[in-house]
Amino acid sequence: MTDRSEARALNPSTDVTGLILAGGQGSRMGGCDKGLERLDGIELVGHVRARLEGRVAEVLISANRHLKSYRRLADRVVVDGEQGFQGPLMGICSGLGVATTPWVLVVPCDTPLLPHDLVARMAAGIGGHRIAVAHDGERLHPVIMLLERRLASDLQAALAAGERKVGRWLERHDWTRVDFSDCPGAFSNLNTEEDKRRLEARLQRPDLERKEEG
């Protein structure tokens, strides 16, 4: 286990880069590029960006295809260092490698209902740890994490050794969970056409979202 980071208050607007993971294969949806699927007339990744924009120093998107489309939706697009669909750890490593802030907040592209206060709560919950991971009261969400940029070299070494599991990499480090048990539905993601219909219905009912968050 690595040493703890120095505990201090974070200012997300200057200390944190947002990293949206959109480099997946979309195999459970027939290979579609999920980040560009439209919900309520907006690309899925656009809904996620709205949860970060104005709250972090910069928004990056990790993508491996349709780069021109993603460039319209990000401050910068980051491509994985290796070809093919290498999984979220590769996208995280690529993002850490180009981030200019000491911290990076990672989120997946298929979670359009993320809490509006996600950035603030993750920053407040990191304490003296190097990594904070969202927990909805029942499940841990390992790809929704705030982590130190300085972990890039460690992650790069793990990937070179063949590691591809986020959970196993987390176990090597000092991390904490951030409680979001007050809004578990905010972490619903899109894997099927039924999920898409359900999430779109939620997006069209902001009153339900406010009720859950508040």
23 carries a ligand binding annotation: yes
68 carries a ligand binding annotation: no
22 carries a ligand binding annotation: yes
Closest CA to 71 of 107, 102, 35: 35
Please spell the DSSP secondary structure of 134-193, one letter per residue.
Answer: EE-SS-EEEEEEEEEGGGHHHHHHHHHTT---HHHHHHTS-EEEEE-TT-GGGG----SH
34 carries a ligand binding annotation: yes
80 carries a ligand binding annotation: yes
Q: Residue 20, SS3?
A: strand
Task: Give the β-pairing of 38-39 and 16-21.
Answer: unpaired
- Cα(171)–Cα(60) distance, rounded to whole angstroms? 26
Task: Give the β-pairing of 175-179 and 58-62.
Answer: unpaired
Annotated binding residues, written as ranges, equal 21-23, 34, 80, 110
Annotated binding residues for GTP, written as ranges, equal 21-23, 34, 80, 110
Annotated binding residues for Mg(2+), written as ranges, equal 110
